[in-house]
Amino acid sequence: MDEVVLVTGAAGKIGRFLRPRLARPGRFLRLLDVAEIPPAAPGEAVETLRADVTDPAAMRAACAGAAAVVHLGGIPHEAGWADVLRVNIDGTRTVLEAARLASVPRVVLASSNHAVGFHPIADAPVPDYLFPRPDTYYGVSKAAGEALGSLYHDRHGMHVLCARIGTCEEEPPDRRGLATWLSPGDCARLFEALLTAPDPGFRVVWGASANTRGVFDLTEARALGYRPEDDAERHAAALAAAPPERERPYVGGPFTD
């Protein structure tokens, strides 16, 4: 029987990057979002579900029989506290609890550089397992997600892997992106490593490509099998022509303004 991987937030940017790239013989992707997701193409081993990550019953049903959950669904930027609390923090707890009740052994959480956004960037490479220093309520929600992941690992033995993603876009959007970019291909390589590393326990890794100007330490990600192939440097010339950006001394860049 095919291994089922549930992907929340599958209609979003990273979800769309991962959909074709996580396809494997013997794997079936269960794609979930509150927004509409394009249905399975002929021969594509996917199903789509319209559900909210804050709905315990829906998430319990979505987790049934899954070998792993990739949790991307939520608000990916700063927002009001009530929304951040409901969707990102309570939603992540709901996903982890649903996974526990359905005996899903592994959950991969989309964390963010903004969980540690107020750390100075001068001391690059910015190490793995940096203590939370959020730059926004959004960053607080990502630190809370990591803490929840740690709890579900220690208390329930679930494997939980948190990726502190830098800037995951088709191309680096600005000069900061030359340091923080995670290409779509490397994003899939990272998530594949997090889905397949044997007996990982609880881990927090940086999510970035092998950028010449990279600031994030990829040691822990590499230890789990991640082998980045892209480098933002090939976009440097194009970005040199872009308007100058204000230099920010912190990991979180403009989120720290």
Binders of ligand NAD in range 93-122 (CB under 6 A): 110, 112
Q: Is 29 in the site for ligand NAD (CB under 6 A)?
A: no
From the list 4, 5, 6, 11, which residue makes contact with ligand NAD (rule: CB under 6 A)? Answer: 11
Rounded distance between C-alpha atoms, residue 219 and residue 60, angstroms: 34
Q: Which residues, other chains included, contact 123 with Cβ-Cβ below 8 Å and sequence gap of 6+? A: none
188 binds ligand NAD (CB under 6 A): no
Q: Given candidates 20, 35, 81, 227, which one binds ligand NAD under the rule CB under 6 A?
A: 35
165 binds ligand NAD (CB under 6 A): yes
Using CB atoms within 10 A of its CB, is residue 151 exposed (0-12), middle (13-18) or buried (19+)? middle
Give yes or no for residue 253 binding ligand NAD (CB under 6 A). no
Q: Which residues are catalytic?
A: 138
Q: Does 73 bind ligand NAD (CB under 6 A)?
A: yes
Measured CA to CA, the distance from residue 181 to residue 242 in angstroms comes to: 17
**Interface with ligand NAD by CB under 6 A: which range of 23-31, 51-59, 198-206, 224-232?**
51-59
Q: How far apart are CA 103 and CA 80, in angstroms?
A: 33
Nearest to 164 by CA among 196, 134, 198: 134
Report how far apart, in Å, the C-alpha atoms of 62 and of each of 194, 199, 206, 229, 257 are: 20, 24, 28, 33, 39
Q: Give the residue closest to ligand NAD by C-beta.
A: 12
Which span (69-77, 193-201, 210-218, 246-254) binds ligand NAD, by CB under 6 A? 69-77
- Percentages helix, strand, coil for the chain (3-state, rounded to 5) are 40, 20, 40
Q: What are phi and psi of 43, to 5 degrees?
A: 85, -5
Tell me: cis bond preceding 125? Omega within 30 of 0 counts. yes
> Which of 177-208 are b and which e, b meaning 16 or more Cβ less than 10 Å from the residue's Cβ?
bbbbbbbbebbbbbbbbbbebeebebbbbbbb
Count of residues near ligand NAD by CB under 6 A? 24
Q: Is 9 in the site for ligand NAD (CB under 6 A)?
A: yes
Does 53 participate in binding ligand NAD (rule CB under 6 A)?
Answer: yes
Question: Which stretch, 27-35, 125-133, 148-156, 241-249, contacts ligand NAD (CB under 6 A)?
Answer: 27-35
Is residue 68 near ligand NAD by the rule CB under 6 A? no
- How many angstroms separate the CA atoms of 129 and 201, rounded? 14
Among 4, 28, 29, 74, binds ligand NAD (CB under 6 A): 74
**Judged by CB under 6 A, which stretch of 41-49, 160-168, 209-217, 236-244 contacts ligand NAD?**
160-168
Q: Which is nearer to ligand NAD, 91 or 214 (CB)?
A: 91
Catalog residues that contact ligand NAD under the rule CB under 6 A: 8-9, 11-15, 33-35, 52-54, 72-74, 76, 87, 91, 110, 112, 165, 167-168
